[in-house]
Amino acid sequence: MNFDTVEIEVATSASEESIRDSDRIPVTLVEKIPIAFDEKRGQILVYSDQAWGFLLRRLEALFPMVADSVAYVESGYQASYEGEHQDIDIGTDWNIVFFPVDGTTFKYAVIEPSSDPPTVTDPHSEFGSITTDSKLPVDGIPLGKGEYATALFEATEEYIRLAEIADPSDNKGPCAVNETLKLYYIGLETMVEHYEEHGTLQNFRFDADSEFIQMFLYQYDINSEDLSRYVIKEGILRDEIMNLSQTENNSISEQYKALLSHSSRRIRSEAAGVLAEYPDDRAKDGLLWTRWTDNPDVVPHAIRALVQIGGEDVREALLELPDFSEKESIRKAAIEGLAEFDDEEVRTTLQTIADNEDESESIHEAACDALTALND
């Protein structure tokens, strides 16, 4: 038994030939986490026969962890302990929380279930905000981020190898490796290569033009809250939009459209917000399209970008929005934007809104302020 390093073992009870064209890969995944206290050593063993789900949950947790956010994994897997301590019984009712210690280390804690737990898709920014009743005699087990990423990469690589044996033609059968797992694997490979070269994941950050980021933003339609938070928190999406704005290629408009229609609402909102700061004429079609989504997290940003770009199509869109949308933030942004277009139709529309006693105070004030701006 190796009590010194993290291991994630992918074990199959069947021969590789017998799993070919199989409906299910008989794989058991065992995560082995070293623990030491009172000068004794041992390891926690976490078992799962749902290897795909287990790997995906761990991969989802890894990116917030590397970015120094707390990630939480709710677990129904079996667990046990083996080692030199005779009095440890962690039972089966438990959760795991990853929380950062510094740029290179995190802690792996086995805790009692919480009535209001953080989640992988909504990580807590401060470990102190999590109620933790440890099921171990220690608060958490210090582990290296690079070491854990390497163990997870090797396990994912082995699982993908077995899955490709079971579904060699990639027919998208029950054993197929889906796009989400493939994407995480590509990102994890880059992370591990960095760790092997530099010996640390401290200050690790994906470049906006890396294969992993480009596939997430443009190729795979994956609504991952974890990756969305990561690329926004690290400023990667902002970098990508700045790169697009500096590229002399009219086809860039398609990439703007992809960002503004991304399956992740966070990506859509952030992209529109950055374009409101740094508008690009080539983003106009994508920005105009967002109005049909009636999304209050996106459309007001898009309107601010469009007003700076200008054009008759923008004016017409703004005239339509107060009647089309019922979202106050969208209607208000459209009314404010109309102050940049001075003609009789715009003035008539604004005056009608200002005179409507059924409008909210905020909408009424926005229309009056827009009329005042046109008269100045």
| 66 neighbors 149 (Cβ within 8 angstroms) | yes
Name which of 126, 90, 96, 89 is nearest 114 in CA terms.
96
> Would you state the torsion angle of the CA atoms of residues 166, 172, 177, 183, taken in this order, to the nearest 10 degrees?
150
Domain boundaries, the chain: 7-183, 252-375
Residue 127 has what pLDDT?
56
Neighbours of 102 (CB within 10 A): 10
Contact yes or no for 36/49 (Cβ under 8 A) = no
- Would you tell me the crossing angle of helices 265-277 and 252-260 to the nearest 10 degrees? 130
Which CATH architecture is the domain 252-375 placed in?
Alpha Horseshoe (1.25)
Using pLDDT thresholds of 50, 70 and 90, give the confidence band for residue 180.
confident
Residues 136 and 112 sit within 8 Å (Cβ to Cβ)? no
The size of the chain, in residues, is 376
Whether the per-residue pLDDT at 172 is higher than 60: the answer is: no
Among 31-35, 90-94, 158-162, 344-348, the least confident range: 90-94
Once rounded to an integer, what is the mean pLDDT over residues 139-158?
Answer: 89
Q: pLDDT at position 70, please? A: 67
Judge residue 274's burial from the number of C-beta atoms within 10 Å of its C-beta, 0-12 exposed, 13-18 middle, 19 or more buried: buried
Task: Give the pLDDT mean for 256-270.
Answer: 95
98-117, pLDDT tens digit by residue?
A: 777 788 888 887 776 655 55
Q: What is the pLDDT of residue 174?
A: 47
Nearest-CA neighbor of 143 among 213, 218, 62, 76? 62
Q: Which distant-in-sequence residues (6+ apart) come within 8 Å of 242 by Cβ?
A: 274, 278
The burial class, CB within 10 Å (0-12 / 13-18 / 19+), for 107 is: middle
* pLDDT digits 0-9 by tens, 199-215: 999 889 999 999 999 99
